[in-house]
């Protein structure tokens, strides 16, 4: 466990930025290249320290879809890249192409104040996902290996039911055990995708953040394509939902010391909730 002194030494003077984009869905009819191109140029302008892609790069896991996704990801001006496959990427044994073009399906990245552990929660040809008890210890060990101001866990599926999405479906099967593992590991932030609806919750000491789709027009209700920017500065974390071409709004702001927070999800609720 880090002392307060070493924690404050690790604090950065400037803003440390993580860009999270998700559910590109290259190859599908509803894929909109202009949205992805614009999002990538906006992300590059922000010069993020880390870029996270939380899965569903493709639609059927086909090789040509992966080639297209890789082409886009290569346009990112960021060396520190974390990518996990989604359920669509594991269709048709697509994880073979994932490994060839994006590397390990489970990975660890440590940079600046952040430790990220990312896992493949997909199951071949199934829409639901799981972490699996065989990986709980590995996850804990990775987070315990080095202290970090902000410990981040990345997966494609969500750990909590997302509003407006058929709430009971497609949570990882072992969400309860996985959440306990993350709590024990001191994780503060979970980044996921999958349901194309952005949202954020605070659950105990965890902030669980779901990204929308960045470039698919398979949208729910009045949600729009978007991606997330996570900013860490002076012991605070601010998370923004950004719409390619169309500005941004804050999703949540929290203190790393006290976990005091404010969230601003009213707009999302209006987009996916019936009024009567």
Interface residues with Fe ion (CB under 5 A) are 23, 56, 86-87, 194
For the record, the structure tokens of 239 come out as 């998370």
Nearer residue to Fe ion within complex by CB, 78 or 219: 219
For the record, the structure tokens of 111 come out as 């940079």
Q: Quick one: 8 exposed, middle or buried, by C-beta within 10 A (0-12, 13-18, 19+)?
A: exposed
Q: Which residue has the tokens 């709590």?
A: 183
Q: Considering the complex, what minimum distance in angstroms separates the CB of residue 91 from Fe ion?
A: 10
Q: Considering the complex, what minimum distance in angstroms separates the CB of residue 129 from Fe ion?
A: 8
Nearer residue to Fe ion within complex by CB, 23 or 149: 23
Nearer residue to Fe ion within complex by CB, 49 or 89: 89
Residues whose CB is less than 8 angstroms from the CB of residue 156 and which lie 6 or more positions away in sequence, other chains included: 22, 54, 55, 56, 84, 85, 86, 87, 120, 121, 122, 129, 192, 193, 194
Nearer residue to Fe ion within complex by CB, 151 or 156: 156
Nearer residue to Fe ion within complex by CB, 148 or 272: 272
Quick check: helix, strand or coil at residue 257? coil
Residues whose CB is less than 8 angstroms from the CB of residue 130 and which lie 6 or more positions away in sequence, other chains included: 121, 123, 172, 173, 174
Nearer residue to Fe ion within complex by CB, 122 or 185: 122
Residue 208 is given by DSSP the state E
Residue 164, CB-side half-sphere exposure with 13 Å CA sphere: 23
Nearer residue to Fe ion within complex by CB, 21 or 240: 21
Burial 116-141 (b: 16+ CB within 10 A, else e): bbbbbbbbeeeeebbbbeebbeebbe
Nearer residue to Fe ion within complex by CB, 155 or 237: 155
> d(Cα 43, Cα 214) in Å, to the nearest integer?
12
Distances (CA, A) of 129 to 61, 121, 171, 214, 238: 16, 5, 7, 21, 28
Of 26, 16, 15, 14, the residue nearest 53 (C-alpha): 26
Q: Considering the complex, what minimum distance in angstroms separates the CB of residue 56 from Fe ion?
A: 4
């Amino acid at each position: 466990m880090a002392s307060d002194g070493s924690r404050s030494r690790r604090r950065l003077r400037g803003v440390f930025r993580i860009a999270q984009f998700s559910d590109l869905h290259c190859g599908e009819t509803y894929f909109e290249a202009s949205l992805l191109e614009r999002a990538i140029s906006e992300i590059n302008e922000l010069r993020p320290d880390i870029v996270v892609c939380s899965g569903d790069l493709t639609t059927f896991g086909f090789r040509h879809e992966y080639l297209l996704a890789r082409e886009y990801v290569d346009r990112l001006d960021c060396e520190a890249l974390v990518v996990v496959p989604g359920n669509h990427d594991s269709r048709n044994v697509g994880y073979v192409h994932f490994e060839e073009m994006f590397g390990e399906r489970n990975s660890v990245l440590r940079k600046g104040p952040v430790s990220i552990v990312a896992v493949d929660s997909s199951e071949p040809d199934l829409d639901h996902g799981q972490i699996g008890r065989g990986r709980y210890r590995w996850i804990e060990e990775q987070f315990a290996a080095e202290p970090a101001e902000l410990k981040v866990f990345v997966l494609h599926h969500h750990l909590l039911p997302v509003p407006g999405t058929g709430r009971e479906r497609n949570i990882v099967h072992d969400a309860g055990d996985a959440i306990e593992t993350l709590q024990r590991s001191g994780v503060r932030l979970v980044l996921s995708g999958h349901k194309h609806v952005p949202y954020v919750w605070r659950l105990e000491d965890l902030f669980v953040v779901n990204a929308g789709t960045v470039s698919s027009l398979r949208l729910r209700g009045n949600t729009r394509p978007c991606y997330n920017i996570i900013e860490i500065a002076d012991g605070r974390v601010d998370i923004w939902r950004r719409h390619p071409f169309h500005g941004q709004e804050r999703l949540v702001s929290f203190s790393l010391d006290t976990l005091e927070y404010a969230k601003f999800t009213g707009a999302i609720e209006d987009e996916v909730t019936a009024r009567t």
